[in-house]
Amino acid sequence: MTPTRKVVIPIVSGAAAVRVYQGHEESCPRADFAGSTLAMRQVPGFRLIENQYPSGLELSRHFHEKACLTYVIEGSYSESHGAGSSVLRQPGGLHFLPAGQKHSNIFKENTRCLIVEIEREALQRVEKHSKGLDRPGEIRGMASTWLAQRLDQEFHQGDPLSLMSLEGILLEILADGARNAGATGPVKVVPRWLRIAREYLESNFLRPLSLSEVAAVASVHRVHLSREFRRHFSTTVGEFLRKKRVEHACHLVSRTNESLADVAMTCGFSDQSHFSATFRRQVGLTPGRFRQMAQSR
């Protein structure tokens, strides 16, 4: 029987690392990012890299010299910052990693990401107004979800005007991330059971869920779950699920030709009217107008 495909890359100091592939070792030069680079673009203050990661790839604990934004286009991966913490990164997610932040990654499926290296000067422009971008985390705002999709579209345009557009979009994303991070106050240590509950929500947000079910997975009472979830994440469990569904709807509306009725059903809304009202309230546009703007670009 053919063994499971597994690639482990320990990141070490020095000029080389060791790649282990199905029991064989070979020296390979150390690179800024593992995986295969599909495309790369440079704009003032930023370097954008589209990377493909194979299923089974594991990156041991390492860090990057520059801060990074990662937009997951296809697939998913888990990221750990130590102390047993592991976060699932899924399609449509936009994640920030400060310079020097130690982390490890596991790719259980083929994954494609758009990675943005951020020059110190670009971060300083934002830090003059907010110190929010000093720790790893997701940039979750509806504005950033829309901007991340525009970023991916502009990246593949390839014309001179797209360079100016890319720079503007990236600065908007950093500002939105700093604004939202700054509003959450000091960093809270999230207990392991609460991380389990949140990861369960992120993996199952498209199907009907009850508070009792999520509480059972985390082995806590539903009242305790509800209170601590709101205290740590500044949102209720229901609001969190609703935002995840709208974020996924943004992805489907802008990238597929599915009817809005089908998108509503896929994303767990009772009918198209309810979906449209919720979408407009969170995004500021109707789903139809959102699709027109996305496809026109």
Would residue 6 be called left, alpha or beta, if left means φ above 0 and alpha means ψ between -120 and 50 degrees?
beta
In 130-206, the DSSP E strands lie at 137-138
For the chain, what's the residue count? 297
* 147 and 210, same domain (yes or no): no
Any domain includes 290: yes
Any domain includes 39: yes
Q: What is the pLDDT of residue 219?
A: 95
CB count within 10 Å of CB 62 equals: 18
Q: Looking at 131, 150, 183, which one is the last position of a domain? A: 183
Q: What is the pLDDT of residue 142?
A: 60
* 20 and 164, same domain (yes or no): yes
Q: What is the pLDDT of residue 128?
A: 65
Listing DSSP states for 209-267 in one string gives --HHHHHHHHTS-HHHHHHHHHHHHSS-HHHHHHHHHHHHHHHHHHH----HHHHHHHT
Any domain includes 1: no
* 104 and 161, same domain (yes or no): yes
pLDDT tens digits, residue range 200-245?
998 999 988 999 999 999 999 988 999 888 888 878 898 889 888 9
The mean pLDDT value for 2-18 works out to: 39
Q: Looking at 157, 183, 209, which one is the last position of a domain? A: 183
Any domain includes 291: yes
pLDDT at position 296 over 80: no
Question: What range defines the domain where residue 198 resides?
Answer: 192-296
Report the CATH number that the domain containing residue 96 is assigned in CATH: 2.60.120.10
Domain count, the chain: 2
Q: At what angle do helices 142-155 and 287-296 cross, to 10 degrees?
A: 20
* 18 and 139, same domain (yes or no): yes
* 174 and 205, same domain (yes or no): no
Report the CATH number that the domain containing residue 233 is assigned in CATH: 1.10.10.60
Per DSSP bridges, beta strands 7-9 and 57-62 are parallel
Name residue 274's amino acid.
H
- Helix boundaries (H) for 20-89: none
CB count within 10 Å of CB 90 equals: 17
Q: Looking at 183, 213, 233, which one is the last position of a domain? A: 183
Name the nearest CA neighbour of 59 among 17, 118, 101, 91. Answer: 17
User: Which of the 8 DSSP states describes residue 4?
Assistant: P
Which residues, in sequence order, are CB contacts of 208 under 8 Å at separation 6+?
268
* 230 and 143, same domain (yes or no): no
Cα dihedral across residues 31, 101, 91, 155: positive or negative: negative
Any domain includes 164: yes
What distance in Å separates the CA atoms of residue 115 and residue 94, rounded to the nearest whole number? 10
* 176 and 204, same domain (yes or no): no
Name the nearest CA neighbour of 35 among 105, 132, 94, 139. Answer: 105
Query: Hey, is 51 helix, strand or coil?
Result: strand
- Range among 23-27, 29-33, 109-113, 148-152 rated most confident: 109-113
Query: Interior CA angle at 255 toward 139 and 175, to 5°?
Result: 25
Mean pLDDT over the full length of the chain: 79
* 54 and 85, same domain (yes or no): yes
* 74 and 137, same domain (yes or no): yes
Any domain includes 167: yes
Q: What is the pLDDT of residue 230?
A: 85
Any domain includes 2: no
pTM (two decimals): 0.59
Q: Token pair for residue 30? A: 């150390």
Name the nearest CA neighbour of 51 among 64, 40, 60. Answer: 40
Query: Hey, is 177 helix, strand or coil?
Result: helix
* 202 and 177, same domain (yes or no): no
The mean pLDDT value for 56-61 works out to: 89
Residue 67 pairs with which residues in a beta bridge?
118
User: Which of the 8 DSSP states describes residue 2?
Assistant: P
The mean pLDDT value for 73-89 works out to: 79
